[in-house]
Chain A
Amino acid sequence: MANQKLAMVIDAPTCLDCKGCLAACKVANNVPDGKWRNWIKGADPERRASSPVVFQPGNCMQCDKPTCVEACPTGATYKNQADGTVVINRTLCIGCGQCLAACPYGARFKNTDLGVADKCDFCAERRKFGLEPACVSTCPTKSRKFGDLNDANSEVAKLLKANRAVRVANEQTRTDPNIYYLGEPGPTNWTVQARMPEAFDFWRRLADPVVKAVVGLSGLGVLAMLGKQLAMPKDAPPADGGAHEEAGHE
């Protein structure tokens, strides 16, 4: 069975900033108060000279080069090869939050109810039952389209073939996202900068070599002892062993 490459194609200019997708997502995924799996950038506009204003819906971009996966120490976050989504295994997640900082889109948050990192997974549970992601099915203007890019007959594949589409990626971090924007995408700013947490870097750069050295040295010592034991089975204290009362020694 061919692998899927699930993606969203978003027609941002048709977004009304009605918050339907945010509400639908929150209910569908039990997202705790104050946290959101998806967003509308450029919402609640101040008055602008240019019109029409473009609101830009978004969510986790299920990147092909996910920095969050790189930052996860436990492998709880991984790229699902079957459908291309970036997944969080909640039982494996230790809630360290390294992936939060590592995501250049701020797509991740700490689910305070569950104590784990959380983010959009294209509504994996709904998809199991043949339902579209909640944000997609609820969207009044159907700004959000969802499907499999590997399926040439899917709506998203057709849209990408027929239209110019851009990805609104964070310039500082190249992640190859899987959300495509049709037409004028709207805001391009990202308030978040991806970074690896200090502790993570310390681990990677310093702690890891040091630990390896310590364990290595111990190992070497033990090996030496073992070698000696094998090589010199009859090692005994010299005759002037003094206080050592060797008499009884076997």
Chain B
Amino acid sequence: MNKRMILRHTKGGIFIHWFNAACWFILLFTGLGLIQNPQLQPLGQWYPNALRAVFGGGGLLIIHLAVAVTWLLVWLVFIIANWSSHVVPFLAQVFTLKPGRDMEWMIKKNLQMTLGYKAMAFFMKPLGLGAKIPDQEYYNAGQKVAAQVMLLGALVLAVTGAIMLRGKYFMTAPLADIAWVQWAITIHYIAAGVTFGILLVHIFMAAIAKEERPAFWSMFSGEVPEEYARHHHKLWYDEVAIKTSDQ
């Protein structure tokens, strides 16, 4: 069997991914638990009550704040350390969307993922499009969009979170600042909601969808099978293949 493996993730990348995942998990669940107001709590009062029974009311906020600050600091270090090697290329890639190819991919892939190839082909026919899903780079269009939303969401969460933190510990000015804090909470909530929505899809794709299983494992080993790379990220594979054949 041709089981040649291709390096997809560096160790640093793997670390930051799982670190991020852990933080978000904790932040999401403690954050949700912090909302103890029947008008606002999406899960119902049982949830914050249960969490408070375990951690105590104040503990919940302290965990949330501690994890958030750690998360932010680690990210800052990571970004600075990997600025030119990873961060800039990553940003360049995820923010480059080619309308034709990527749009087509989005439509086709979503239909395929939810309804299957046949249905997708069926729907594409009238549009004069084939059933072929366009080749993708290191990230496919879906991943790019998800990354964009997550990035933006994380940024908003960090900024609004910082405003709230300031609200608690450094606030001196009276109402003007308080309005800022109040909006920060609302926006924080929205950002958390939206990113969580994307996260759901991401988690499904990575951990549950069978066809993406190699990608899931690569988040531990760092490598994907050559076959998987060629299939899912043809353009990237070609690049890597050329590079390797050059050697």
Contacts and interface: CB of A to CB of B under 8 A. Distances in A.
Contacts of B175: 97
Contacts of A237: 117, 131, 133
Contact of B231 (A91, A228, A245): A245
A165 interface: no
Interface in B99-135: 110, 112-118, 121, 130-133, 135
A232 B190 CA distance: 35
B178 A242 contact: no
Contact of B189 (A97, A203, A240): A203
Interface stretch (B56-64, B87-95, B239-247): B56-64
A228 B114 contact: yes
A188 interface: no
Interface stretch (B8-16, B17-25, B72-80, B204-212): B204-212
Interface stretch (A52-60, A170-178, A214-222): A214-222
Given A207-B186, A211-B190, A248-B2, A243 B132 contact: yes
Interface in A198-230: 198-200, 202-204, 207-208, 210-212, 214-215, 217-219, 221-222, 224-226, 228-229
Contacts, number: 187
A151 B196 CA distance: 51
A224 to B, nearest CB: 4
B182 A218 contact: no
Interface in B165-209: 167-172, 174-175, 178-179, 181-183, 185-186, 189-190, 192-194, 196-198, 200-201, 204-205, 208-209
Given A100-B178, A203-B185, A94 B167 contact: yes
B194 A115 contact: no
A98 interface: yes
B27 to A, nearest CB: 14
Interface in A164-202: 197-200, 202
Contacts of B210: 229, 233
B61 A218 contact: no
A80 interface: no
Nearest to A242: B132
A147 B73 CA distance: 50
B190 A95 contact: no
A97 to B, nearest CB: 3
Interface string A132-168: 0000000000000000000000000000000000000
Q: Which 6 pairs show the lowest CB-CB distances between chains A and B? A: A91-B58, A75-B36, A211-B193, A97-B178, A218-B197, A199-B182
Interface of B: 2, 34-37, 39-40, 42, 48, 52, 57-62, 110, 112-118, 121, 130-133, 135, 164, 167-172, 174-175, 178-179, 181-183, 185-186, 189-190, 192-194, 196-198, 200-201, 204-205, 208-210, 227, 230-231, 234
